[in-house]
A and B are shown apart, each in its own frame.
Chain A
């Protein structure tokens, strides 16, 4: 629990109601930039803010800055489809994503901020024999790793999610599904704001509208960063800049195994509650859930080429909508309200890089690709450990950048379900 004079509670709500809610204080400050910090985090998204938060909370680092080129929650943290799950195939992935899921379960209490985490379950649907085998393999792997997972046959799928079309006559019939009941969704903006508020209350300086333009290195040691608002010195710099990781890495002369691509999502007009779980399909690439406002939240795929434009192709959206309409014919008359893209940094093995580099004091947390949101607290937890101790936590040791030389890849491309 964060000790803060502005703790949110039912009493603070009532108290502020008497002053017509005009006296709420900002959730985080807008500080002056200091000349030097003990650690600088580049990127004020969910992963960057959790890193700063856990650096302060778990490792007692006092003097931290988070430098963000735009505004808090304006990047991929506010653009994803908010799905949280940990049913990954490989041991390394299951361990880190399940660690994150456990942190999600206590997050609202820990932050004193309601992130609206809802464990409504995530269902991964199988449409052919290969899917059935693949998903059953993952179901068993999950259970061996202590990750909850169940297998549902077609009738049980229909019972769990009545609006799904289980007719055997559709092009890709539903042949069963895995279900992780602990999985679900959360309000992504609240995650960014909650961690920003939490970090701020522990003395972290959150510096918005400040873009990094260079990294200063002296004799193989990092000494600070150049920004659009001047030089800031620090001996420890953690880069968590998602789609722009390669651009930042280039400033330090590092080449990363990343490709940045647009990933799109869209929401429909709001309707009454119709789907109370998350349905994902690997084969026909569709995933859908319903937000608390009543909008259907639909995730599309990535485009097949590199781009930083935050716009994707309409053909990708069309493919996803076709799949959704086949699985849920009752959605076919719904109107889509908003549609957007974010830039995701994809690793060749679809696993993240949370690693030291050959430059002392420079750390990278990137490559989360299409599935970083669910890992937000776990990612910050292990990255903070890596920065504070100058060595990886047991959970992120397999996700070192050196795995591309050693060949010890954590191949989650097909295994983790394509839709993250």
Chain B
């Protein structure tokens, strides 16, 4: 389970939060002009990154505020927490060496050599 540092309430257990998925997806400014593929891209298609991902969280069983989190999806490390509307911070993350491979502090299912 993750320990998330809510910018309004401080550190709380992840059970209190709900994840809102990929952050910084803007609602199209010109909805009537969009074709079906563009709508599909906005509604359904996601980057689903292995490694550093910027995502939205809601403190749904707490202050009910939305905020953003930078998290490494390969290790579950939370690297930064920042408020809605702020630009994603530049953070260093322990990304996998090969695209599908495991990070240095991974899940134990190593298929490629670890970083020393």
| A residues neighboring B (CB under 8 Å) | 69-70, 74, 209, 211-213, 228, 241, 244, 246-248, 250-251, 255-260, 304-311, 313-315, 341, 345, 348, 404-407
Q: Give min CB distance, A57 to chain B, whole Å.
A: 28
The answer to whether A257 touches B36, judged by C-beta atoms less than 8 angstroms apart, is no
Q: Contacts A74-B109, A313-B1 hold; do A256 and B45 have CB atoms under 8 A apart?
A: yes
Query: Beyond A258-B46, A260-B48, A307-B76: 12 further Cβ-contacts under 8 Å?
Result: A211-B112, A255-B47, A260-B73, A304-B19, A307-B73, A309-B74, A310-B108, A310-B109, A313-B14, A315-B15, A345-B48, A407-B36
Q: Contacts A259-B21, A315-B15 hold; do A309 and B45 have CB atoms under 8 A apart?
A: no
Among all A-B residue pairs, the 10 with the closest Cβ atoms: A246-B48, A305-B19, A257-B44, A310-B107, A313-B1, A405-B36, A255-B45, A405-B40, A404-B40, A70-B111
The CA of A230 and the CA of B112, in the complex, are separated in Å by: 14
The answer to whether A311 touches B107, judged by C-beta atoms less than 8 angstroms apart, is yes
Q: Give min CB distance, A47 to chain B, whole Å.
A: 16
Which residues of B have CB within 8 Å of A306? 19, 21, 48-49, 53, 55, 73
The answer to whether B46 touches A247, judged by C-beta atoms less than 8 angstroms apart, is no
Which residues of B have CB within 8 Å of A311? 76, 107
Partner of B112, one of A228, A314, A405: A228
Is B92 an interface residue, CB under 8 A from the partner?
A: no
Q: Give min CB distance, B112 to chain A, whole Å.
A: 6
Partner of B46, one of A69, A212, A259, A313: A259
Which residues of B have CB within 8 Å of A69? 100-101, 111-112
Q: Give min CB distance, B45 to chain A, whole Å.
A: 4
Size of chain B's interface in residues, with CB distance under 8 A? 38
Q: Contacts A209-B111, A255-B41, A309-B75 hold; do A246 and B99 have CB atoms under 8 A apart?
A: no
Q: Which of A209, A244, A304, A306 has the most CB of B within 10 A?
A: A306
Q: Give min CB distance, A250 to chain B, whole Å.
A: 8
Nearest-CB residue, chain A, relative to B76: A309
Q: Which of B37, B48, B50, B74 has the most CB of A within 10 A?
A: B48
Chain B, interface SS category = loop
Q: Give min CB distance, A41 to chain B, whole Å.
A: 15
Nearest-CB residue, chain B, relative to A403: B40
Which residues of B have CB within 8 Å of A404? 40, 43-45
Which residues of A have CB within 8 Å of B39? 405
The answer to whether A256 touches B107, judged by C-beta atoms less than 8 angstroms apart, is no
Q: Give min CB distance, B66 to chain A, whole Å.
A: 15
Nearest-CB residue, chain B, relative to A212: B100
Nearest-CB residue, chain B, relative to A249: B48
Which residues of A have CB within 8 Å of B71? 305
Which residues of B have CB within 8 Å of A209? 111
Nearest-CB residue, chain A, relative to B48: A246
Which residues of B have CB within 8 Å of A304? 18-19
Which residues of A have CB within 8 Å of B9? none
The answer to whether B109 touches A211, judged by C-beta atoms less than 8 angstroms apart, is no
The CA of A74 and the CA of B109, in the complex, are separated in Å by: 9
Which residues of A have CB within 8 Å of B13? 315
Which residues of A have CB within 8 Å of B98? 211, 213, 228
Q: Give min CB distance, B109 to chain A, whole Å.
A: 6
The CA of A341 and the CA of B76, in the complex, are separated in Å by: 14
Q: Give min CB distance, A293 to chain B, whole Å.
A: 23
Nearest-CB residue, chain B, relative to A319: B15
The answer to whether A314 touches B48, judged by C-beta atoms less than 8 angstroms apart, is no
Is B63 an interface residue, CB under 8 A from the partner?
A: no
Nearest-CB residue, chain A, relative to B96: A308
The CA of A306 and the CA of B72, in the complex, are separated in Å by: 10
Which residues of A have CB within 8 Å of B99? 211-213, 247-248, 250-251
Which residues of B have CB within 8 Å of A248? 99-100
Q: Give min CB distance, A384 to chain B, whole Å.
A: 23
Nearest-CB residue, chain B, relative to A341: B107
Which residues of A have CB within 8 Å of B55? 305-306
The answer to whether A309 touches B106, judged by C-beta atoms less than 8 angstroms apart, is yes
The CA of A331 and the CA of B89, in the complex, are separated in Å by: 48
Which residues of B have CB within 8 Å of A307? 73, 76
> How would residues 71 to 110 of chain B score, 1 for a CB under 8 Å from any chain A CB and 0 otherwise?
1011110000000000000000000001111000011110
Q: Give min CB distance, B4 to chain A, whole Å.
A: 10
